[in-house]
Structure 1
Amino acid sequence: MSLDACAALVQRGDPDRFAAVMAAPQSARARLLPLYALNLEVARAPWVSKEAMIAEMRLQWWRDVVAEPGPRAHEVAAPLHDLIQSARLPLDVLDRMIEARRWDIYSAPFEDQAALDAYLEDTGAGLMWLTACALGAPPEAGAAVRAYGWASALASYLRAIPELAQRGRIPLVDGRPEAVAELALRGLIRLEAARRAGVPRAQRPALLAGWQAEGLLKLAARDPAAVAEGRLQLSDFARRGRLLWQATTGLF
């Protein structure tokens, strides 16, 4: 299958990341799209059926794809296989990203804040590190990329809180406004840590997917009630302006 199939999938199912891909240099897009398509496939796997066993089987199928990345007749698996081989992506990071989605299958809450932190680390931070690796990131860039990815994942997660609650999940360990504001501040601290550490310019297209993170986290810290009420959104002007600024300056 072609990268066009991955692009179409991401465009339909994850328009924010698709916008980030389109803002990235053309040379980077072929390395970003298979991973964003994989993320979309595993993120939606827990929700395609009410039968937990079916969701478990879907996630296991993707774990098998990663563990034994032979050619498969699937629109995402084939380009992903090529990328895993050519970029020598860390298979353990891929596996943890998929395995973490098992939490989404069931309605049990996170055991504690550390469990939620680990979920964000394995999903969002792991994905951002994988995309940076696909662009040739050196190991020493890992801490900064993962910090930025964790904060970006938190911002997206907070935006999804109303939908998760509607689906019967208990998404936050502590949903009190003051606790939500504190969580958002932790995300902002990680963003600042990533900036201080720095990321090589060649890998910064991987960070474009987090272009809304700072604005969303600042809003959540200032107005934590916006999270539960579904008002955690940036204006179209702010969204487009931030993406354009980050893409043209290379800053994050």
Structure 2
Amino acid sequence: MDEHAHILRTQLRMNDGDLYLCHLFTPAAQRERMLALYAAYTEIARVPAEVSEPMVGAIRLQWWRDALAAGPDASNASPFVAALAACDFCTEDIACLIDGRMSALERPQAQMQTPTPDELEAEATIVGPAFMRLSLEALGHDPAACPAWARDAGIGFELVRLAHDGPTEIVMARASTWLATARAGFNASPRRERAKLLPAFLIIGLTARFARSWPTQVSLLRHQIRLLFSAFRGKI
């Protein structure tokens, strides 16, 4: 993983500044696992937007499935695949990150119709909870023991990222509801429990604030200060 870390950090910083900043607050012993997850998540999530034909996107997603099945030692393993495969994450949850993007690839075939909030929420329900379970697994927690509001956090997180594919205002409002439930659950947890889970939930705090303030744009400096405040306060 060490030889790939610089590549992953550089790409993650370019592709998703929020996830990049949040991964830096992960304890050193688990930081590379979180980096591998976040970097792979962003690469997979970009596939639908980077292709003009659904078949091309489907081929790229299948490449991820095949490459991960081959393992980290395969001669053709990319840095992203090698790092992710080396972490030995739950294969079912990794599959959700990939399979959940198929809906976005199929949209152009539906007469360019804007997806409904329900359709986007269904997509978010595939990807988001799996993303949160993997984030907690990266920290060494048992995904099966995830609190119920971790699922809400994942759905809200993913809905915000899908909002511009549909009626943005409605989707953002739905996302805010999911995220508010997750924040309430997290912040009501015992201090020691919050401390263990915090690195996986910092991105949820940032996402919740973004959804609440949308469409107002928050400056990067203010964004970073909020992240620091959440990290030191231990609440999102």
TM-score, normalisation: structure 1:
0.77
| Residue 102, structure 1, aligned to residue 102, structure 2 | yes
| Residue 204, structure 1, aligned to residue 209, structure 2 | no
Deviation at 1:23, TM superposition (A): 3.1
Per the alignment, residue 219 of structure 1 pairs with 213
Q: Distance in 2 between matches of 1:67 and 1:197?
A: 37
| Residue 83, structure 1, aligned to residue 67, structure 2 | no
Per the alignment, residue 137 of structure 2 pairs with 133
Deviation at 1:78, TM superposition (A): 0.8
**Where in structure 2 are there 5+ consecutive unaligned residues?**
none
Please tell me the residue identity of whatever aligns with 1:60: Q
Please tell me the residue identity of whatever aligns with 2:177: R
Identity, % of aligned positions: 24
Per the alignment, residue 13 of structure 1 pairs with 15
Please tell me the residue identity of whatever aligns with 1:93: D
Per the alignment, residue 29 of structure 1 pairs with 31
RMSD: 2.6
Q: Secondary structure at the match of 1:58?
A: helix
| Residue 191, structure 1, aligned to residue 183, structure 2 | yes
Deviation at 1:191, TM superposition (A): 3.1
Instruction: Tell me, yes or no, if the aligned pair for 1:7 and 1:18 is still in contact at 8 Å.
Output: yes
**Where in structure 1 are there 5+ consecutive unaligned residues?**
165-170, 221-225
Deviation at 1:112, TM superposition (A): 5.3
| Residue 39, structure 1, aligned to residue 30, structure 2 | no
Q: Distance in 1 between matches of 2:155 and 2:15?
A: 21
Instruction: Tell me, yes or no, if the aligned pair for 1:7 and 1:33 is still in contact at 8 Å.
Output: yes
Aligned residues between the structures: 224
Alpha carbons of structure 1 residues 202 and 184: separation in structure 2 relative to 1, 3 Å: closer
Match of 1:243 among 222, 227, 230: 227
Please tell me the residue identity of whatever aligns with 1:100: G
Q: Distance in 2 between matches of 1:61 and 1:247?
A: 37
Match of 2:78 among 74, 77, 94: 74
Please tell me the residue identity of whatever aligns with 2:90: P
Instruction: Tell me, yes or no, if the aligned pair for 1:21 and 1:32 is still in contact at 8 Å.
Output: yes
Alpha carbons of structure 1 residues 191 and 132: separation in structure 2 relative to 1, 3 Å: same
Q: Distance in 2 between matches of 1:182 and 1:135?
A: 30
The higher-RCO structure (CA 8 Å, 6+ apart) is: 1
